[in-house]
Amino acid sequence: MSTARGTLPTMRSATRQMPRPRAPDPERAAKTALTQLDLSDRVRGKRIAVTAGSRGINDIVPVLRGTIDHLRHLGADPIVVAAMGSHGGATSDGQRHVLEHLGISEESMGAPISTRMATSVVARTPDGLIGYCDAVAASCDGILVVNRIKPHTAFDEPFGSGLMKMLSVGLGKAEGAAQIHRQGPAQLASAIRAIAQLLLDSSMVVAGVAILENGYDETARIEAMLPDQLVERELALYREAKLTLPRLPVAQLDVLIVDEMGKTFAGTGMDTNVIGRRRIPGLPEPTSPNIAHIVALRLSPHSEGNAQGIGLADLTTRRLVDAIDWQVTYKNTITSTFLNRGAIPVTLPSDREAITVALDILPGANAALARVIRIPNTLHLERILVSDAVADEIAGQSGVDIGPEVPWVFSTDGWLVDLS
């Protein structure tokens, strides 16, 4: 028997205890990792480009600062170079704004920052792929590449989001990013590796600093490596990162409510590894989780209007759509070639209406039995809200604590109060 339309299910807090290895002082950890490498002769008296990407890496500021301080200690002259492909609308000002939102400024870094979009050609692969590299980085005496190692949101193979991608896509700017994505999803990983190898073979890269995070979006550890170790170590670190990737606690879900999406949380706004959707023509969807309806409520202000990935949702709100910078979003979406991810879902005037519609169109529309999870975003999954049907299933899972009922609280305009 169905319940009245517009009824919302009872929700309870669920706290999940996940493995939590931590680097308590990421700045010092970066320095310590680099100290283990013999870089003195490679960098002393030389101009070294340090890469800074657009991902919302929790400790990117202290890690970059530690890297820069160590280079300066060795007698190098570091400069931070934006390495984010076509993000920020593929403009210098846009990329500078992205870095500033992440806390990366000349003041916080203690070093100059370049966001120029010009590229130089390093070399070509036997198959004709062009090795583009940020012109400022290419003019330096060396590149120290810094990034988090994490599975990609478009494919399951290594070199998804890591040092190799930073070299090939990030430093490749708009031209390099577009070239690699034009190879098609089945060839992304091999194209990333081939282009990155051109830079490694050119002797431009002096070292890499890899960041591994735990399930709480905290730095688990930092590892530095020489160029000839980079491919092998990234493969190993990728396997490790895949094991610690946060995931939903169930495989089947009626409605997933995502309070906030955006580039701060994933390249696709919502991590495809979490929501179980890619929506890439020609590629099969992940087998788990299987979610009937995804509702995206807000766009993170740190995303600079970039709503790439909004097409992964089924319903959204007028507030989110009004926050979209179409030029920035479409530039990123078109460069990726995955146009479905830029499609605007059914848009409702408020959070309450979007959530209500998602529930009302379920078969039977019985809110009391609906399997619903509400998360703050796809990056932070340690504290979530679950309906009674989900709570009953996960109550016996190790490390899961089911709390009391949490009421639905909306403003007079129908906006949902933040999950905190």
pLDDT in tens, the chain (420 residues): 345 667 899 999 999 888 888 999 999 999 999 999 999 999 999 999 999 998 779 999 999 999 999 999 999 999 999 999 988 888 999 999 989 989 999 999 999 999 999 999 999 999 999 999 999 999 999 999 999 998 765 555 676 679 999 999 999 999 999 998 888 877 888 899 999 999 999 999 999 999 999 888 899 999 999 999 999 999 999 988 888 878 899 999 999 999 999 988 888 899 998 999 988 877 788 888 999 999 999 999 988 899 999 999 999 999 999 999 999 999 889 988 889 999 999 999 999 999 999 999 999 878 889 999 999 999 889 999 999 999 999 998 988 999 999 999 999 999 998 765
Cβ burial of 365 (10 Å; 0-12, 13-18, 19+) is middle
Please give the distance of CA 332 from its chain centroid, rounded to a whole number: 14
- What is the predicted pLDDT for the residue at 89? 85
pLDDT in the model for residue 398: 87
Measured between alpha carbons, how far is 13 from 419 in angstroms, rounded to an integer?
Answer: 10
**Distance between CA atoms of 205 and 226, rounded to whole angstroms?**
8
Q: Give phi and psi for 153, each to the nearest 5.
A: -95, 5
The sign of the torsion formed by the CA atoms of 373, 377, 382, 385 equals negative
Judge contact between 87 and 130, C-beta under 8 A: no
**pTM over cut 0.85:** no
